[in-house]
Structure 1
Amino acid sequence: MNETRERRRAVPSTPATPDYRVGFGRAEISTFEPGMSMWGWGREDNVPRGVGEPLYARAMFVEGRDDGSALAYVCADLGMIAAGLRVAVLDCLADEHSALGLDPASVVLTATHTHSGPSGFSHALFYDLAGPGFSQRVFDDLVRGIVRSILDAHRRLVPARLALGVGDVPREPPIAFNRSLDAYRQNAEVRGDVSAADAVDRAMTLLVAKDEDGVAVGAISFFALHGTTVHGDQDLLHSDHKGLAATAFERWARESAGAAEDFVAIFAQGAGGDVTPNSRPHRRRGFAIGPSDDDHESARFVAEAEVETARRIFVGDLRPLGGPMVCGLRHVDMEERPVASSFVAGRRGVTTTEARLGLAMVEGTSEGPGPLWKLRAVDRLVHRLVHRLSHRQAPLGTGDPKIPFLSVGPGRRKRLLGRVDPLARRLGFIRHPIFQHVRRIEDRGVSVDRPPWIPTVLPVQLVHLGSFVLVALPNEPTTMAGARLRRSLEKELPGAHVQVQGYSNAYSGYVTTPEEYALQRYEGAYTLFGMHTLAAFEEVLVGLAQAMSSPGFGPHDEPGPPLPTCTREELAARAPV
């Protein structure tokens, strides 16, 4: 899928006067709790023994020239941004650094989605099960590091111009593939028998900041590609290809492109929920790997391909970007949320579902097989039967094909398969570390029922930098889900260059199209709120875009219900053994 030409035309041309003050900074966040697994692969043996490649939080700070507006954008070498982590960062900024002029709407926290970063920093129990446990040390280290990166960027503020460029990451060398091709092919937009290499968004967007002398001070690359070249059988913290690309581009820009000595590059994500760098099955290791048998070499190979495209854009036709900066934020309860008929083909009475994982999630993916991977043929046969039955019972296609595996919303007790209490005495024979961890929490006198196991109140954010519009989502949109959101917002905001970015401000699994969801592959089973999840997010985003375009919009308004967090007592009960 290639819409780069259309997006290039959307890049605005504006006078080259400095509308902003811009600074870039970074801080190292290489931290982990000894004995706890890394976050991403869900493997209890994926325990770090040290640092292979350092992890960083890289930040851009922007101030409007005349209106006092401010923006802090941070991309961290982490698997995701936990909602509780965001809340703690915002609290620190408000309590200790209020002079920066930031509020929740003007702080974007996002992750590179490396699968070789620390675990133990989420208030959501489900995301601490792999560790297992919550580490106060890791949590505090990450809060401090993210705040330091923002302060470093603010310290380097200079009058600057922003410019935007777009280019394709070429098919050769091959680095990006759709890992759920059969689901992608279900989409109405897909024509013919597309390949895995063609079923991705190859467009890279590059945002560049240059001071009044034309010296580059920083850049952000947006490109959708999972941070999974380094697999779960490794034992070192690693920033994966995004972190390596940032470091390599920084070196090139300083040494060969006349950039500032403190130039910072950020290689961020897009809508990459179904996009992988791994396409080669490895029989001995049992999963798909990247271009090299050595994961670290694969990470370098993929990073270099991203850097090469970013270089080409950087020295090419960058178009000036100017105009007001406006930030908008909404907190949305996504469980059983009504969806307007205009977003679901005119149907009335449509809602999202309660938050639950589907059984197909336990299959995993070709690059990260789960417990049911070898039984996926049987699992998929069962899903086909359920899908047919659901359509017979709901002839208008309103039936949900998901086979519930785990309910993850707040206040649930019978979470397993919709019927079973995971702490029931009859399951006491199960000695798996996850079951033992959950039982240990309750043995410490703390219930695991009150807070959601995965957040259900979620932040949805839009940032306008002139005609550049960043969509920050708390999940992993698939390629086509991202494309539909982008087209919807471009229709609402004519002339805008819209960049959809997942892994931002919280984490709640995936967002698939209804067609992809119906097939119930890994991404569909991990789309928590049902078939109409995408439509619900689209409605929120369009409403926010309309509000931000109105004269009376107040970015400091209360965004909605608070993000879910845990008490100190609840977190203490989840401390690792």
Structure 2
Amino acid sequence: MSKCTRFLLMIGVVLTTLPSSSFARRCKGKTVYKVGQGIYDITGPAAETQMMGYALGKQQAKGIHMRLRSRAFIIESPCNRKRVVFVSVDLAQMFHSVRWGVIRKLKRKFRGLYNYNNVMISAIHTHQGIAGYSFCALFNMTGLTNGGFFKQGFNKQNYNAIVNGIYQSIVNAHYNMKPATIKMGARDLLNASMNRSKAAYNHNPWAERRRYRHDTDKRMTLVRFDAVRGNRPLGLINWFAVHATSFSSKHRHVNGDSKGLASYWFEKKFRTNYQARDTFVAAFAQANCGDVSPNLWGIPKPQTDYRNADIIAKRQYNTALQIYSRARKKLSGAVDFRHMFIDFSKIRVKPQFTGKGHQRTCVAAFGISFAAGSTEDGPSYHKIKGGKMVKEGWTMGRRRRTHSNVLFRPVTKKMIRCHAEKDIYMPIGNPGFLGNKFRMTDRVLPLQLFTIGQLAIAGVPFELTTMVGRRLRKNILSALRSKGITEVVIAGLSNAYSGYVTTRHEYAKQHYEGGSTHFGPWTGAALRQSFYTMAQAIRSNKPIRMGRLPRDLSRFQGVRTVGVVLDAVPIGKKFGQVRNQPREMYRRGQRARVVFWGAHLKNNLMTQRTYFNVERRVGRRWITVARDWDDNTWISWRRHGVAASHITIDWKIPRNAPRGVYRIRHFGYRKLLHGRLKSYSGSSYPFGVEMRVKHPKPKPSIFRKCPRGYFKDPNGRCYQCPRGYRRSIHPVTSSRAC
């Protein structure tokens, strides 16, 4: 090491050990931060793969409605150069496996500038994404029942798409950094959510419930970013608590549910270019949604999926637009952060957080009510009668000798006492004979706290119920009010995932949320205690011990998902050839549909690209008007025979679509026998919107099938003999065949 390098390192050490209070004083009143925003595609293999969220093996993806995105924001302090990274991703959950992969790539490129301490990745909790991206077996096994075995397990293709997409969105944000102001606003949204566990919520003390007008958090908090130069809008983040379960478990097309749809509409309004590096980004992030449902009209059904999602998305979009246009309060002051890994299976909780003396958390376990699912958002396929499972093979984990002992050790009396009211169904924290190499779920979890001026962001790896979220915000605010913090938001499902967290009173009712609280009745109190410790560290400008990282399980992932062996088409067909042409004319509001002979969607994910274009003819040119990420398009995959594929493309024609001539073009990759991929493309006949475009007559083909009662001549033409005539046995043309 040279003398110059040693000197620079010594300066760095001195700067990092200077008291943060001096930086805070220098930051006071400063409103110009450095901000960067980035967006990137994270859509995985959207055909013959298990979907994530409802834990139903029959929910296999069959196409794309809208692409999934990673939306990243980097904010640098105006005085001490501290940076925080907030990423909102269109996924069901965020797992440590993904964050580990992203941080590893960031460390290589930026030499430690971005690390576990200052990078927060939060999932919106869509139930219409692709599964198989966790290192923990529990979250990769959702399809081992109902015929999903060969489509389950760790899906490396999906994992890489997610990790690379999140990493690239952060890289884009890094290179987009520029001086900017941050404005904050908030507003209540009253008609987009309901409490799905009212009996459990009402079990909380009346004295606490009476402080709040509603049984869910109705407050939407939003921050907007505007470049100083030219006042150009850069993007926004808003937090609102509502489950992304507007689409039912019978829906098979990948999309971001209501939050992904609201983001798309906001970005469309600001003309976001998804293929550009520097463009407007709108993140509709998740909050404490544990007991909050969007299904105001009952259990989601396939017939009403799109209508319900549109309504909830529109209400979030409209409220966000109102806050965005009226936000006036500028954030000012320092940026700070704290982060810790903590083993949630053995936290000793102090009396000030329990109200009942010292308590402990438990080894992770599911309760029997977990198996029932959430009644309001789509019940599970399990059936419960009299407290016992009636579906064969899913016996209760409380029994000593059960089917599940391959994966779990027997439940102990200590566990039963610790989990109190919970009737233990699966002791997921007790690994079986496979030990730590086959971990069902993480017990070491990350907790993270950001402060940006007057705003604090708490990153939690759980789904918090409404009351837990309120208590947590209150604790953090009490510790940080002296630092000028006036607003605390909860970023749910951040950095990892380990089920739900309820209050002690809600836990006693053992609804779905209570049965899904992994670490027992005092998990909520342990969470508040840990965040209070981090908040105190920020207040007193002291460092905090990060803790031990979860064990690296990347080497123990067995890939059970079956890949594509070969793509083929029937004799006489070509890849990209149209099987079913569109009609000659459509009205606005109708669906145009084309079916192509194509290849498997797994061959190439077309990241940052598209599987098809809808094009309009303008003069001699064709202008693209829709792609596979638009909200009015669908691409569907279906197997034909052994190795052939039907690719169906639907375009719902907008009410404001210009009258004219259109066509649909499809792009894909086919796999050859030796494994190499080869691109192909195809185009439909032109068709008219509010006008007729005549199609050419189909050319005769010897492979073309004739209608019933018709015969084919050697030239491929179909004919029918008149009444009283019989078909000739000689191979003659149709004019001489009868």
TM over 0.5, yes or no? yes
1:70 aligns with 2:83: yes
> Is the 8 Å Cα contact of residues 369 and 510 (structure 2) preserved in structure 1?
yes
Query: In structure 2, what is the equivalent of residue 418 of structure 1?
Result: none
- Equivalences for 1:309-458 in 2 at 5 Å? 309-348=319-358, 350-366=359-375, 367-373=377-383, 375=385, 400-409=420-429, 411-413=431-433, 447=434, 449-458=436-445
CA distance in 2, matches of 1:407, 1:280: 35
Structure with bigger RCO (C-alpha 8 Å, 6+ apart): 1
1:322 deviates by 1.1
> Is the 8 Å Cα contact of residues 23 and 218 (structure 1) preserved in structure 2?
no
> Is the 8 Å Cα contact of residues 15 and 320 (structure 1) preserved in structure 2?
no
Distance 1:50 1:293, change over 3 A: closer
Query: In structure 2, what is the equivalent of residue 169 of structure 1?
Result: 189
> Is the 8 Å Cα contact of residues 338 and 448 (structure 2) preserved in structure 1?
yes
Distance 1:193 1:47, change over 3 A: farther
Identity %: 29
- Equivalences for 1:111-510 in 2 at 5 Å? 111-131=123-143, 132-171=152-191, 175-189=192-206, 198-212=214-228, 213-254=230-271, 262-281=279-298, 288-289=299-300, 293-348=303-358, 350-366=359-375, 367-373=377-383, 375=385, 400-409=420-429, 411-413=431-433, 447=434, 449-494=436-481, 495-496=484-485, 497-510=487-500
- Range that drifts further, 143-152 or 210-219: 210-219
Distance 1:564 1:298, change over 3 A: farther
CA distance in 2, matches of 1:164, 1:130: 40
Query: In structure 2, what is the equivalent of residue 525 of structure 1?
Result: 515
1:211 deviates by 1.3
Structure with the larger helix share: 1
Query: In structure 2, what is the equivalent of residue 515 of structure 1?
Result: 505
CA distance in 1, matches of 2:346, 2:216: 31
> Is the 8 Å Cα contact of residues 84 and 563 (structure 1) preserved in structure 2?
no
> Is the 8 Å Cα contact of residues 162 and 208 (structure 1) preserved in structure 2?
yes
Instruction: Deviation per CA, 1:509-538: give whole Å up to 9, x if none.
Output: 001000100000000000011110000011
CA distance in 2, matches of 1:450, 1:362: 25
Query: In structure 1, what is the equivalent of residue 736 of structure 2?
Result: none
Counterpart pick for 1:547 among 516, 537, 544: 537
1:294 deviates by 2.5
- Range that drifts further, 179-188 or 447-456: 447-456
Counterpart pick for 2:122 among 110, 125, 130: 110
1:201 deviates by 0.6
> Is the 8 Å Cα contact of residues 225 and 272 (structure 1) preserved in structure 2?
yes
TM-score by length of 1: 0.81
CA distance in 1, matches of 2:169, 2:428: 33
Counterpart pick for 2:68 among 44, 55, 62: 55
> Is the 8 Å Cα contact of residues 168 and 203 (structure 1) preserved in structure 2?
yes
- Give the secondary structure class of the aligned counterpart of 2:167: helix
Distance 1:547 1:210, change over 3 A: same
Counterpart pick for 2:56 among 43, 58, 64: 43
> Is the 8 Å Cα contact of residues 411 and 450 (structure 1) preserved in structure 2?
no
- Give the secondary structure class of the aligned counterpart of 2:238: strand
Unaligned runs of 5+ in 2: 1-26, 144-151, 390-397, 399-412, 564-738
1:507 deviates by 0.3
> Is the 8 Å Cα contact of residues 24 and 59 (structure 1) preserved in structure 2?
yes
1:567 deviates by 3.9
1:73 deviates by 1.1
1:221 deviates by 0.9
Query: In structure 2, what is the equivalent of residue 571 of structure 1?
Result: 557
CA distance in 2, matches of 1:518, 1:277: 25
1:204 maps to a residue whose letter is M
Instruction: Deviation per CA, 1:10-68: give whole Å up to 9, x if none.
Output: xxxx9875431111110011112643210001111111111111100011111223322
Distance 1:184 1:30, change over 3 A: same
CA distance in 1, matches of 2:47, 2:303: 28
Distance 1:448 1:575, change over 3 A: farther
2:530 maps to a residue whose letter is V
1:236 maps to a residue whose letter is H
> Is the 8 Å Cα contact of residues 91 and 123 (structure 2) preserved in structure 1?
yes
2:197 maps to a residue whose letter is S
Structure with the larger strand share: 2
Question: How many residue pairs get matched?
Answer: 496
> Is the 8 Å Cα contact of residues 447 and 459 (structure 2) preserved in structure 1?
yes
> Is the 8 Å Cα contact of residues 343 and 443 (structure 2) preserved in structure 1?
yes
1:549 deviates by 1.9
Instruction: Deviation per CA, 1:282-318: give whole Å up to 9, x if none.
Output: xxxxxx028x943122212111100110111112242
1:373 deviates by 5.0
Distance 1:355 1:192, change over 3 A: closer
Unaligned runs of 5+ in 1: 1-13, 282-287, 380-385, 387-392, 414-446
CA distance in 2, matches of 1:325, 1:28: 28
- Give the secondary structure class of the aligned counterpart of 1:226: coil
CA distance in 2, matches of 1:193, 1:18: 38
Distance 1:564 1:228, change over 3 A: farther
RMSD of Structure 2 on Structure 1 (CA): 2.8
1:152 deviates by 1.2
Instruction: Deviation per CA, 1:116-148: give whole Å up to 9, x if none.
Output: 001010001000011420011111111100001
CA distance in 2, matches of 1:330, 1:15: 27
1:198 deviates by 3.6
1:153 deviates by 1.3
- Give the secondary structure class of the aligned counterpart of 2:378: coil
2:218 maps to a residue whose letter is R
- Give the secondary structure class of the aligned counterpart of 1:315: helix
- Give the secondary structure class of the aligned counterpart of 1:183: helix
Instruction: Deviation per CA, 1:335-393: give whole Å up to 9, x if none.
Output: 03211122111513x101111011110111122212445647889xxxxxx9xxxxxx9
Instruction: Deviation per CA, 1:532-576: give whole Å up to 9, x if none.
Output: 00000111100011112223x34xx661111243142x2036555
1:83 deviates by 0.9
- Give the secondary structure class of the aligned counterpart of 2:120: strand
TM-score by length of 2: 0.64
1:210 deviates by 1.1
